[in-house]
Amino acid sequence: MSDDDSDGDDSEFDILTIAREEAHRTVDHQVSTLNDIDTKAAKILRLNLLLLSIVLTGLSVVGTRSSDQPISAAASQYGNLFVVGGLVSILVSTALAALTYTSSSMKEGFSGRDLSRLLYDDDYTDRQKMYGLVQSYSRWTQSNFRTNTRNAPLGTMTVSFLVYGIVLLSAGVYDVTPSGVPWWLTLIVVVSLLVFTWSTGIYGQLRRYWKYKDLDAAED
């Protein structure tokens, strides 16, 4: 082998090494991001269950505070549209949190068996092994990216519906008072929730999700 061929092989191996290091950092960052989404989803799931138990317990206590007011009467009194909307929002947030937590499929790296094959398989040169390693990292990066494009909007909607639920339940409690919720306050609530929804970036996340979903369908 000439010196030029040797230099070319060394240069290619160096490029593969750099690509492997960059891909490794990318995968680590993707896994960290997905783990953060899962952690938040699990916390919100527990919070939603706590909120639901508090609200339902409160309605039960109010309904049984006297024999003259059964639970059905309390539900009729306190079950205004705001309360119903708040409970539905929290239920939706709970379902989305569970879906977010259970739908993650992360690619974190080699298994123990794959590492053993990589180290002790003498049928391939080090350069070929490095090339295969870079290809594997490329597949993991693409897989984690697809998972993130799906989980990011799920996580955002989980938080959004939790906020909707808290705001609507608060308005529902206020609506029980003799003055009730005036129309202008209802308008403020609706506009505030719309502005909040826009600021979460959910529309961009959904566009990205559908864009890459269509690309994946075209490739298949």
Average pLDDT rounded to a whole number, residues 122-132: 75
pLDDT at 49 over 80: yes
pLDDT at 87 over 60: yes
Show the tokens assigned to 168.
């609507």
pLDDT at 73 over 60: no
Show the tokens assigned to 56.
């339902």
Contacts of 100 (CB under 8 A, 6+ apart): 37, 38, 41, 151, 154, 155, 158
Give ∠ CA 93-100-81 in degrees, rounded to 5. 10
pLDDT at 157: 95
**For helices 126-175 and 183-199, angle between their N-to-C axes, nearest 10 degrees:** 180
SS3 214: helix
Amino acid occupying residue 116: S
Place of tokens 């990216």: 145
pLDDT at 44 over 90: yes
Show the tokens assigned to 91.
């239920």
Q: What is the mean pLDDT of the chain?
A: 81
pLDDT at 198 over 90: yes
**For helices 126-175 and 112-120, angle between their N-to-C axes, nearest 10 degrees:** 160
pLDDT at 125 over 80: no
pLDDT at 205: 92
d(CA 164, CA 8): 60
Q: Are 115 and 170 in contact (CB under 8 A)?
A: no
List the chain domain ranges: 3-211
The pLDDT-based confidence of 13 (bands split at 50, 70, 90) is: low
pLDDT at 99: 92
pTM over 0.75: yes
